[in-house]
A and B are shown apart, each in its own frame.
Chain A
């Protein structure tokens, strides 16, 4: 049984305990999630990371969970661990750029209180940080440092105010001397290393836990985080992925990946063609017609399948903020900071499992799911659940014909399966599996957001064929 939130928060060390009344009053707000973070203006936020109720909830669960590791330890060890963790929570509190992330954890945990923090972390394959805002003087220095001259000299014009927040920095509008309208994403100096060293500290304070059975797992998570952070902090890598993705689309697709301007890009600055459009959530709020929504849904799926089959890249970060509906109806794709590239053996395996998943025959599915997830014969419940989730993910595809993604009950069923999978830690296995499961969940969520009614099988088959795979023996069930 999940512990009471108010108790958890009260047990949180070293933070000014929120009044229990406030805790309860605040809870309904947690259910509303915002996909857009505020644009960084104002001064450096010397805010505590745990300053909001949501963040406190996240930290409280985390602390409660950590304590659980020492339930059976002797008194001395428990006290030592407690002392370390109090320090760890204080370190966490000082990491103000984690505010959004901890808040998100808190929101999810408040919604699904029986998910343990670890399971939550498994889904957090993309961490959002809130970099401190940069004022113009600092931006100028960053541009000068990175590109060798002041923005006034390098660009035809450069807006001093950011127009959007990025995870590790902020995004500015500018125009190149050659006339192109661009978006310039700039990273807060040294932030990736600062974050990494903070996490190393956190890790240090958690050392007493190294004897517990969860330690290895925690260590893996931290190492994983470090890898991801290094990947995300390097805009050169992101630019590479973006160029690769861009090359996959033609005019007639109506899908745009912004062009990168390498001469104005470094590992800390990414200058790209600026797309003017409406974020997906905003677009939906304007009540577009069914036909319009279907059109957007088809493009969104085309982009996803194209990258997957032709590009061998899994675009995981399918949140609404990364899609723009342009004035002329084209779909803009942003943010290539987190891509899973399928290569070598993994790609071969993916090729192998893809077809049987789409026949709609249970025995086909079971065989490949077992292989992909490395499910043992005695793990019957795990197999059942993964199969059900797999069926939910792939049904629209193997059934063929127009599929209505607007069915709330069916979507909720998917949420339940996904949460159960997390709770039971069934998505473990291959390192990329949790991320890919989330990717599958995410596209369904986007389809639901669009209330789309589309035929995705013909679309997917077109994409598969275009890659030249031999699908002559492909036999969907009638």
Chain B
């Protein structure tokens, strides 16, 4: 029997929805791929046609959340300073992926880590590229020239550092992450501005 692309897409969607729900109710660790498959109404083996692992499902969930956040950010009229806009973008992302906070670590390791930069062929690359494109777009909006590639790498290291900190932030309501994010962005923006020679 041939499976149409639409059917495939629907199954994939069911897997992701089931996983999201199970992670939320049972927690990441207590959820097995078998549980996810059962909840999605497919055979355990079938799941692996779609995802290599439980972690891969999380990557997809994260990617969805991040995309929603970017859309939301773009819709809202930003119009603040460079720092403010970058902060708004990243904090919108954090809000979206908040349900994943406790088990985002594997995603950070495989998909987002600056250490994974040598392996830029994988489908995770989209996560990175989409985010960085929006950052470049924000910079342009603030009349900054094209961000040099090395500066983008540095930005990425800061960004993922903040995410990693957030994932294990034990402060009340993760307020320390907000402070770290604020200060990291200021550092980056200060650097861009001074590189661009715009006195501010």
**A194 interface residue (CB < 8 Å to B):** yes
Q: Are A138 and B178 in touch, CB under 8 angstroms?
A: yes
Q: Which residues of A contact B183 (CB under 8 A)?
A: 44, 132
A43 touches which of B83, B171, B176 (Cβ 8 Å): B83
Shortest C-beta distance, B61 to chain A (Å), equals 21
**A376 interface residue (CB < 8 Å to B):** no
Q: Are A190 and B182 in touch, CB under 8 angstroms?
A: no
Known: A46-B186, A46-B190, A137-B91. A191 touches B84 (CB 8 A): no
Q: Are A137 and B179 in touch, CB under 8 angstroms?
A: no
Q: Are B175 and A190 in touch, CB under 8 angstroms?
A: yes
Known: A137-B85, A137-B88. A44 touches B182 (CB 8 A): yes
**B74 interface residue (CB < 8 Å to A):** no
Q: Are B178 and A136 in touch, CB under 8 angstroms?
A: no
Give residues 184-223 of A contacting B (CB, 8 Å).
Answer: 188-191, 193-194
Shortest C-beta distance, A135 to chain B (Å), equals 4
Instruction: Give the CA-CA distance A233 to B174 in the complex, in Å.
Output: 17
Give residues 178-200 of B contacting A (CB, 8 Å).
Answer: 178-179, 182-183, 186-187, 189-190, 200
Instruction: Give the CA-CA distance A193 to B169 in the complex, in Å.
Output: 14
Q: Are B80 and A136 in touch, CB under 8 angstroms?
A: yes
B179 touches which of A43, A136, A144, A190 (Cβ 8 Å): A190
**A134 interface residue (CB < 8 Å to B):** yes
Q: Which residues of A contact B95 (CB under 8 A)?
A: 144
Q: Which residues of B contact A145 (CB under 8 A)?
A: 173-175, 178
Shortest C-beta distance, A418 to chain B (Å), equals 39
Counting chain A CB atoms within 10 Å of each CB, the highest count among B81, B171, B179, B183 belongs to B179
Q: Are B173 and A146 in touch, CB under 8 angstroms?
A: yes
Shortest C-beta distance, A432 to chain B (Å), equals 30
Give residues 46-104 of B contacting A (CB, 8 Å).
Answer: 80-81, 83-85, 87-88, 91, 95
User: Secondary structure of the B side of the interface?
Assistant: helix
Q: Which residues of B contact A193 (CB under 8 A)?
A: 171, 176
Q: Are A43 and B200 in touch, CB under 8 angstroms?
A: yes
**A438 interface residue (CB < 8 Å to B):** no
Q: Which residues of B contact A138 (CB under 8 A)?
A: 84, 87, 91, 178, 182
Q: Are B200 and A189 in touch, CB under 8 angstroms?
A: no
**A141 interface residue (CB < 8 Å to B):** yes
Q: Which residues of B contact A56 (CB under 8 A)?
A: none
**A268 interface residue (CB < 8 Å to B):** yes
B182 touches which of A134, A136, A144, A268 (Cβ 8 Å): A134
User: Secondary structure of the A side of the interface?
Assistant: helix
Instruction: Give the CA-CA distance A132 to B180 in the complex, in Å.
Output: 12
**Interface residues of B, count at CB 8 A:** 23
Q: Which residues of A contact B190 (CB under 8 A)?
A: 43, 46
Known: A44-B182, A189-B178. A135 touches B173 (CB 8 A): no
Q: Which residue of A lies closest to B169 (CB)?
A: A190
Q: Which residue of B lies closest to A144 (CB)?
A: B95
Q: Are B81 and A135 in touch, CB under 8 angstroms?
A: yes
Shortest C-beta distance, A96 to chain B (Å), equals 11
Q: Which residue of B lies closest to A44 (CB)?
A: B186
Known: A43-B186, A43-B190, A43-B200. A190 touches B171 (CB 8 A): yes
Q: Which residues of A contact B187 (CB under 8 A)?
A: 46
Q: Which residue of A lies closest to B94 (CB)?
A: A141
Q: Which residues of A contact B182 (CB under 8 A)?
A: 44, 132, 134, 138, 189
A359-375: CB near B (< 8 Å → 1, else 0) gives 00000000000000000
Instruction: Give the CA-CA distance A134 to B185 in the complex, in Å.
Output: 12
**A331 interface residue (CB < 8 Å to B):** no
A122-147: CB near B (< 8 Å → 1, else 0) gives 00000000001011111011101110
Give residues 91-134 of A contacting B (CB, 8 Å).
Answer: 132, 134
Shortest C-beta distance, B63 to chain A (Å), equals 22
Q: Which residue of B lies closest to A191 (CB)?
A: B179
Known: A43-B81, A43-B186, A44-B182. A137 touches B200 (CB 8 A): no
Shortest C-beta distance, B196 to chain A (Å), equals 15
Nearest 5 A/B pairs, CB to CB: A189-B175, A137-B87, A44-B186, A137-B88, A189-B178
- Apart from A43-B83, A190-B176, what 6 extra A-B contacts exist at CB < 8 Å? A43-B186, A135-B83, A135-B87, A142-B175, A146-B173, A189-B175
Q: Which B residues contact A (CB, under 8 angstroms)?
A: 80-81, 83-85, 87-88, 91, 95, 171, 173-176, 178-179, 182-183, 186-187, 189-190, 200
Q: List 9 A-B contacts (CB under 8 A).
A: A46-B186, A132-B183, A138-B182, A141-B91, A146-B173, A189-B178, A190-B175, A193-B171, A194-B179
Q: Which A residues contact B (CB, under 8 angstroms)?
A: 43-44, 46, 132, 134-138, 140-142, 144-146, 188-191, 193-194, 268
